[in-house]
Structure 1
């Protein structure tokens, strides 16, 4: 999905089990450049031109636990719907680090902040500040932008296309509730769901189960239902979704939005990142 979104840009995507080693290999192959120098170059050349093939910023997903990796900025994300789980570390719980590790972080983003009450968000923020009272805390949400047809990516549709329709949400993501609730707010007459475990690879038996659920919905409501999947699930295996024919499959595209709260906004978030890079003068 990232490769598709960043196609034609200077962004490089590295995928491997050992992400730190992959990042190191990219830096070795391409070299690196001060990101502030890139900003200066971009003022002098057209934006469509790639100034340098060298890497200016390396972003390591799930990198906090790699304690031997040198880093300039530590950003922690917290799922507002289930921030701490059972408070245990992997494999007994969902945490990759103990909560005390917030004292090593530079900023926190509370994701799916639009899905929980403000009182709950305040509790989460209070817990974080107990660990690091100087940390910057932001709130974010996935904002639906549009649909496209799984059978034809170039066919882009507005969000109102599912209004008054019977919809079956099929997903294999970490937070399916957020996905389903957003679809329900778009005016569908009925929303059903099939949730699979995160990163699940759809198999033939899954397609049979999905088609059986679709047939039941069709018989119950007297109209052909529409399948809606996430963009992440589409890119994991777009071909297998074609086996749901003759049912229409739509893919929901969302954008990450930093929500304004207590002076924290998308603009202040960008400034925080820029200050961090400016103070280090390195990757």
Structure 2
């Protein structure tokens, strides 16, 4: 079983490297050999995606129109694009404007994103619907809580602000908006705003469809977006951001979405073994072992460098990885190895999403959990579009 698991991980890692490689000639021979198999699977996947989209566009498959406005947050590539943090960010913006939202998430990969959202929304008016059938989840919550009066929603729309106002919870329970987390491929629900998240660090990899590449949709799907948000914008140069916008515009074929930028702003470290928060300066000058199972581990290591880490040594696992005791052994071995070779403080760091998958496991080890929140930059047009949608 252990050998099988290792071989499975090696295969997954190979697929990730193939997807990220802009030039296949740079890949090892074995990975170049499996690329033709991935290419065939990719062609089948692309055909299915396009056929499904055509069936919805032709009205053969019908999307359900909810009785409240729907904002979809999605992407065209796999993992690490900031979909769930953006869904959370928007939920708070609506709450601060006096509009109760539903956040609809499928709970994929063991439900780590759903678990994190539940923790962050605890005690707030945000309702969380978790499950594959998001139509059923939404209608159930709307039946229970009721729908916000349209005139009231329109009057509150002008209060939508990305400025981080202090919370003033709505006094009623009626729902005024639904937010689809990872909604771009969820065609069963009609949406009023399509927000597409794009990772500035990894962009589109080799620009091939899954499993040959990272694309979940053809790049011409970007034309459906009303808003394109370039995420992790703080981790690349200004020149690179300009180049990314030019690349995106090349796929839009005349459509004119609003462009915005976002980042994951570090808030604090949390130490599970001591059950206390620590300052972000805790890693300044330290040698860091970054252990994570997130969609874009590059972004986390770059963030730690920006926080002042002198070195970052990565232990990367697949997105949604369920950490076990053997993974902790690998981490402790790496820490011990580094302590023997450096005079600097050695610190282990993981992400909040990784921690919440198995809190009790992490509490038995000296690890810092990096807690971050999404921040939107250059947001005026984005904010105005949302306000106008809610005012209709």
Q: TM-score, normalised by structure 2?
A: 0.62
The corresponding residue for 2:285 is: 164
What's the counterpart of residue 304 of structure 2? 183
Greater CA drift, 73-82 or 114-123 = 114-123
Q: In structure 2, what is the equivalent of residue 262 of structure 1?
A: none
Greater helix content: 2
1:69 aligns with 2:189: yes
| Correspondence for 2:269 | 147
Q: Which of 23, 31, 38 is the aligned partner of 2:146?
A: 31
Q: Compute the displacement of 1:36 (Å).
A: 6.5
| Structure 2 residue 382 is the aligned partner of structure 1 residue 269 | yes
1:84 aligns with 2:204: yes
Partner of 2:50: none
Question: Displacement, 1:223?
Answer: 6.2
Q: Does 1:258 align with 2:376?
A: yes
Whole-angstrom distance in 2 between the partners of 1:188 and 1:126: 33
Gaps of 5+ in 2: 1-115, 160-165
Distance 1:28 1:119 in 2: 49
Cα distance 1:21–1:120, how it changes in 2: closer, same or farther (>3 A)?
farther
- Tell me whether 1:96 sits opposite 2:216 in the alignment: yes
Go from structure 1 to structure 2 and tell me whether the alpha carbon gap of 1:268 and 1:134 turns closer, same or farther (over 3 Å shift): closer
RMSD: 2.6
Q: Is the 8 A contact 2:227 2:382 kept in 1?
A: no
State the distance in 2 between where 1:127 and 1:47 align.
38
Q: Does 1:249 align with 2:362?
A: no
Q: Secondary structure at the match of 2:348?
A: strand
**Residues in 2 aligned to 1:163 and 1:65: alpha-carbon distance in whole angstroms:** 41
What SS does the aligned partner of 1:60 have?
strand
Distance in 2 between residues matched to 1:277 and 1:39, nearest whole Å: 6
Quote the offset at 1:35 in angstroms: 7.2
Spell out structure 1 runs of 4+ moving beyond 6 A. Answer: none
**Larger RCO: 1 or 2 (CA < 8 Å, sep 6+):** 2
Task: Provide the residue aligned with 2:122 in structure 1.
Answer: 7
**C-alpha distance in 2 between matches for 1:101 and 1:251:** 36
How far residue 39 of structure 1 moved from its aligned partner, in angstroms, is 7.8
Structure 2 residue 278 is the aligned partner of structure 1 residue 278: no
Q: Does the CA-based 8 Å contact 2:195-2:228 persist in structure 1?
A: yes
Deviation at residue 124 of structure 1 after TM alignment: 2.5
Is contact 1:36-1:277 (8 Å) kept?
no
What is the TM-score normalised by the length of structure 1?
Answer: 0.84
CA distance in 2: counterparts of 1:35 and 1:161, whole angstroms:
48
Q: Output the CA distance in 2 between the equivalents of 1:266 and 1:145.
A: 21
| Contact 2:259–2:382 (CA under 8 A) maintained in structure 1 | no
Question: Are the aligned partners of 1:72 and 1:277 in contact in 2 as well (CA < 8 Å)?
Answer: no
Structure 1 unaligned residues grouped into runs of 5+ = 260-264
Please give the alpha-carbon distance, in whole angstroms, between the structure 2 residues aligned to 1:35 and 1:152: 48
C-alpha distance 199-217 of structure 1, shift in aligned 2 (>3 A) = same
Aligned to 1:258, the other structure's residue is in SS state: strand
